[in-house]
Amino acid sequence: MCRSGGESPASGLASADEQPLCQLGCNEQDPNPSAPGVFLGSGVTPDVCIMGGQTDADQDDLGDFCEKNLAFAFAPELAYWRFDDVRREPYWAARPIVDLQEVELGYLFSYYRDAGSQSYPCQLPLAPDSCHGHNGDSEAIFLTVYYNPATQHWVLDHANYSQHGDYPSYSRGSNDYPTMLYYPQHLGSYPQAWVSEGKHANYPSLRECNAGGTLQTDTCDDVDTTSQFETSPYWNIGSRAFPMIDCISSRNPSYEYYSSGRQECYWTLRDFRGWIPDSIGGAEASPYSSILGNFGF
């Protein structure tokens, strides 16, 4: 629906001379379709989104409508092997970077299990620990996007892809967007990540994937499928001060550990096991709370 006018935070009344803000269901034409990034309409601009008049359930100064639209628009595309175990229950978060009028988006994969690497070095005696699998896999991708008022587009500023506990940054530098990333739909919009087989580390290319991991134990040689990270308004975990989701049971009734009683936490500090109960034994992944904290959430 279209919301007529804009609301003043002070008065709560709509100003008659303000232009309509386009909400879900409206149609506004992209004024610069060839420019980098993505056009999300007059309802998704820094003036409206950041400390504007929108509802803000997690009270982080970024409006709910903008969080949902930005998270959907920039959800990364994943390139993976169709027979890999990439089952997951994804969640996401968004926060404003107020002074720069940017937004940071966190995509939390929440894989059920790291199956380990089957690459050649992992078949040798004394294979490195990074070859081994474990319960749960707290992989994530963080994207920072900025608004270009000249084009009215949101554009990717830099991306951080999880790679075995490291998060290398792919930045735009002097360019409008990071040129080392591949964009499946439009330059400067949502990027693609190559997912290493079994280990779920994220890379910008096949070459970097096959060179990744201890002793180059990551591989993407069999990658043959792509899909975009799944987002839903119901999977927004909110903010640390006002969490909308924290410790939660599996939401997938077809998952073998659906009713195990195990909860995974996003703000509370707890190792991530992919909803596999402690009684099963085995190692687990790093807590999402720490990962989120490292990126300012």
pLDDT tens-digit profile of 165-212?
999 999 999 999 999 999 999 999 999 999 999 999 999 999 999 999
Q: Is 48 contained in some domain?
A: no
d(CA 152, CA 31): 8
Sorted by sequence, the CB contacts under 8 Å of residue 188 that are 6+ apart come out as 36, 37, 38, 153, 155, 156, 176, 177
Q: Is 27 contained in some domain?
A: no
Q: Is 118 contained in some domain?
A: yes
Q: Is 147 contained in some domain?
A: yes
d(CA 26, CA 156): 24
Say how far residue 47 (Cα) sits from the centre of its chain.
23
Q: What is the reported pLDDT for 24? A: 53
- Taking 50 as the pLDDT cut, the residues of the chain under it are 1-20, 25
Q: What is the reported pLDDT for 26? A: 67
Block residue for tokens 């280990």? 199
Q: Domain tally for the chain? A: 1
Sheet with 169-171, edge to edge strand ranges = 91-97, 102-108, 140-148, 153-161, 169-171
Q: 199 exposed, middle or buried (CB, 10 Å; 0-12, 13-18, 19+)? A: buried
Say how far residue 294 (Cα) sits from the centre of its chain.
15
Q: What is the reported pLDDT for 13? A: 31
Q: What is the reported pLDDT for 16? A: 34
Q: Is 13 contained in some domain?
A: no
Q: Is 207 contained in some domain?
A: yes
Q: What is the reported pLDDT for 22? A: 56
Q: What is the reported pLDDT for 23? A: 58
Q: What is the reported pLDDT for 59? A: 96
Centre a 10 Å sphere on the Cβ of residue 41 and count the other Cβ atoms it contains: 20
Contact between 195 and 86 (Cβ < 8 Å): yes
Domain extent at residue 76 = 54-294
d(CA 263, CA 270): 10
Q: Is 23 contained in some domain?
A: no
Q: Is 100 contained in some domain?
A: yes
Nearest to 98 by CA among 148, 154, 46: 46
Sorted by sequence, the CB contacts under 8 Å of residue 88 that are 6+ apart come out as 109, 110, 111, 112
CA distances (Å), origin 248, targets 235, 265, 294: 11, 6, 22
Q: What is the reported pLDDT for 122? A: 79
